[in-house]
Amino acid sequence: MAINLMDSYGASLAWAAYDLQSRLYNILHGHQTDLSPGPYRGFMSSFHLQGTPEQREYVRRSTVFVLAEYLGWVEILRRDIQFLDLGQSRANRSAVTVISSIGTVLNRTSSADDVLRLWRAEQRAIGELMVHPDGEPGRRRCLGYAEFCEKLDGDDAFRRWFAPLLEDIDRLAGDTAQAALRLVELQQKLIILIDVLDPKAERFPHFRQQTSGTLGVRVAD
């Protein structure tokens, strides 16, 4: 049963990891674009700093959402598979190892960079909030984006957990450089997780490896 659940939930976790790493790539690549000569502006500059109020709010909410959705699927795996009962599957054990390392990156304390830092208990809490209340073991799902936005607007207790992250997106738009190292490492580990969950690239056939200096970066076409 654990292996079947991993097959089912692993697909959803892979998509959540893909969406989060894509947003991180857009932020990081946009920062590089901002620093280069020319008239072009990156993702944050175009849509958060210089965009319409609607675009700015979309950047804030959607960025927090893709992070929260990833944590939601991690929490679902924790509840239904129980990390200590993964059978003899090497892929399952590898996935848990990478998930743990991603949590470490999010949890890491640095005097120079606390943007998008979440303590382990905060990661769990946000994941718990993202699990849809109507689910049941083996058939759980996360809140969708519309449901997430509705709860941000109408549930003060829910919003309190996400308000610091929304503020972090504003800080990130103003100064991406301070968080770049954390974001690069986080994106790379998400790519490793996708490779573990989708080793034959069946779900992401256009997901390709690009190299920039000594850092490998994967982006969608």
User: Mean pLDDT, the chain, as a whole number?
Assistant: 84
Query: Tokens 């509840």 correspond to what residue?
Result: 79
pLDDT at 99 over 80: yes
Output helix, strand, coil percentages for the chain, rounded to the nearest 5. Answer: 65, 5, 30
* H/E stretch holding 97: helix 90-107
Is residue 90 very low, low, confident or very high in pLDDT (cuts 50, 70, 90)?
Answer: confident
pTM of the predicted model as reported, rounded to 2 decimal places:
0.87
C-alpha separations of 198 from 193, 210, 220 in Å: 8, 18, 15
Q: Distance between CA 103 and CA 99 in Å, rounded?
A: 6
Q: For 105-118, how does the pLDDT look when each residue is reduced to its tens digit (9 = 90+)? A: 999 887 677 889 99
CB 96 within 8 A of CB 102: no
